[in-house]
Amino acid sequence: MAKLDGKVAIVTGASKGIGAGIALRLAADGASVVVNYARSADAAGLLVAAIKKAGGHATAVQADISEPDQIKTLFKKAVDEFGHVDILINNAGIYEFGDLAGVTPESIDRQFGLNVKGLILATQAAAETFPAAGGVVVNISSGAGVTPIAQAQVYSATKGAVDNLTRSLALELGPRKIRVVGVAPGLTATEGTSGMGEEGAAPFVARTPLGRIGQPADIAAAVAFVVSEDGNWITGETLQVGGGLRL
Ligand SMILES: NC(=O)c1ccc[n+]([C@@H]2O[C@H](COP(=O)([O-])OP(=O)(O)OC[C@H]3O[C@@H](n4cnc5c(N)ncnc54)[C@H](OP(=O)(O)O)[C@@H]3O)[C@@H](O)[C@H]2O)c1
């Protein structure tokens, strides 16, 4: 029997990058996976097809996680399809880089609206939906949550808030057997970071003891551990998963 047989997981922002890697891994470990996406229907559909071809169970559901009503619809569709939800991976997130002078009310709202507001409301929906036996929420943070990056002041602040929420929500939800755990990637090769190229990544690689940037599968392996029975004594903590990189 696979580790996550019988479990249902929602992975937000799973059409690409780290979220897609997590969806693939949780499905390989036996979970039925809801692949959430905002715009990339084709990519989400291809991922679902790949999971099914490998013998897994998955469905794609469109929902913009910065829109509260769409979060509710996502959970309803997940229950309609698979009957229950046991695991939520709060992965959907955006990062915008630039000087303080270029920060606008809109750029703040975009990043906080998805990375923080969306994460809180998705966790609220999960807490309402999880069975009495409990569940697990994983918040995908960033090393920038503890060591902020210059020119990513707003993004770093959203991830600092995520780490704080991991702790406060674990305190509140622990008595209901709901664990809340953070996983904080270092620089990881995804569609979102592909524009940096090798030259842009080089300074990060130079400061990474393990000497490379991460792959979505590296982050997914940590998530798979955290949501499994082997992680059942971990809550309220954020695991740094970046090859030893301190940003
Ligand atoms: N890559 C890194 O180096 C790195 C490092 C540390 C932390 N992280 C964190 O890891 C997470 C994923 O990053 P990534 O690099 O994999 O991102 P990415 O390659 O840019 O992919 C982003 C994913 O999020 C989805 N998404 C965007 N806006 C959404 C919304 N409003 N509602 C639902 N889904 C939405 C996208 O779906 P559509 O294409 O369908 O819109 C896509 O599947 C983020 O929380 C990020 O902060 C990344």
Out of 15, 18, 65, 208, mutate this one to test ligand 1's pocket (max ligand atoms within 8 Å of CB): namely 18
Question: Which residue, judged by its Cα, is nearest atom 23 of ligand 1?
Answer: 13
Ligand 1 within 6 A of 194 CB?
A: no
* CB of 25 closer than 8 Å to CB of 54: no
Q: Which atom of ligand 1 is nearest to the CA of 37?
A: 40
Q: Which CATH class is domain 8-238?
A: alpha beta
Considering 75, 82, 130, 155, which one is annotated as catalytic?
155
**What are the residue ranges spanned by the domains of the chain?**
8-238
Residues 6+ apart with CB under 8 A from 21: 215, 216, 217, 219, 220
Q: Which atom of ligand 1 is nearest to the CA of 64?
A: 32
Query: Does the pLDDT value for residue 246 go beyond 90?
Result: no
Active site residue 95: no
- pLDDT for res 152: 96
| Ligand 1 mean position, distance from CA 191 (Å) | 8
Cα dihedral 92, 94, 95, 98, rounded to 10, equals -170
Could you tell me the pLDDT band of residue 235, with boundaries at 50, 70 and 90?
very high
Query: Does the pLDDT value for residue 1 go beyond 80?
Result: no
Shortest CA distance to 183 belongs to which of 123, 138, 121, 235?
138
Question: Which residue, judged by its Cα, is nearest atom 29 of ligand 1?
Answer: 38
For residues 201 and 40, give the distance between their C-alpha atoms in angstroms, rounded to a whole number: 26
The alpha carbon of residue 81 and the mean position of all alpha carbons in its chain are separated, in whole angstroms, by 21
Dump pLDDT digits (tens) for 191-209.
Answer: 999 999 999 999 999 999 9
Provide the H-helix boundaries in the chain. 17-28, 41-53, 68-82, 105-112, 119-129, 153-173, 197-206, 216-227
Q: What is the mean pLDDT of residues 232-237?
A: 98
- pLDDT for res 46: 98
Shortest CA distance to 223 belongs to which of 40, 214, 61?
214
pTM of the model: 0.98
